[in-house]
Structure 1
Amino acid sequence: MIRKAPISTIMTEKVITVNKTDEIEKAEHLFKHHHIRHIPVVEKDAVVGMLSYTDLQRLSFADITNENEGDVDAMVYSMFSISQIMKRNVVSVSPRNSIKEIAEIFAKREFHALPVVENNKLVGIVTTTDLINYLLKQF
């Protein structure tokens, strides 16, 4: 039953991550190359923040200048670090949390991805897209 199925059945286990000391250009490359919108920021295996593609888009001024977009982004990105733009105090869930519990969190909060953590170690990520795809398979 949907309500009792654990989130581990729909989470992504091979999570793309960055470190808070990585360059923002690396994060941008990972977002575009892997077609993802959220990247956990880790130190060792512990989640210390969450970075979204929207966070990077907020930094871009390329649309309002006459300059080359790549040049403008590189200049702006060099002024900031992942640590400065990541979200802190990240809400995380256990792989044993139910899909229903995750759906309730997404419905109440204004984010679209949750790191899945066990024993303070990142073991997966679940997104609203994962949840929607799961629900579509139920029909």
Structure 2
Amino acid sequence: MWIWFALLSAVFAALTSILAKIGIENVDSNLATAIRTAVVLVMAWGIVFLTGKQHGISDIAPRSWLFLVLSGLATGASWLFYYRALQLGEASKVAPIDKLSVVLTMVLAFVILHETVTVKGILGGALIAVGTLILIL
């Protein structure tokens, strides 16, 4: 089941890039990011309330709060830089560079989370990195 969610994530991430590139024309990239974030905030809380999960807030451990806040800060920084890059560059070049996050995630998962490294994983990460270089050069 997770693979379907991952594939849908990829589809919507692709749409995000195209829609954002069109939407930020003549709009400050930081303002555009704030508007996007407000929409995401309303949508996410709407889903929480629609599914009745808002009662779980009090059950969240302090450590989880810390890492969720840090993740939110990282997301915010990523979006701010992404929108600025989109405003200045071509979506077909910005998006592949942004997707190097896949390779960085694989490395960090090994170093920080001690996830298993496989030959298949190394090869896949290397192909993503090489593919990105080919696309942007």
TM-score range, shorter chain: under 0.3
Larger radius of gyration: 2
The TM-score normalised by the length of structure 2 is 0.26
The TM-score normalised by the length of structure 1 is 0.26
Q: Whose RCO is larger (CA < 8 A, sep 6+)?
A: 1
By percentage of residues, which structure has more strand?
1
By percentage of residues, which structure has more helix?
2
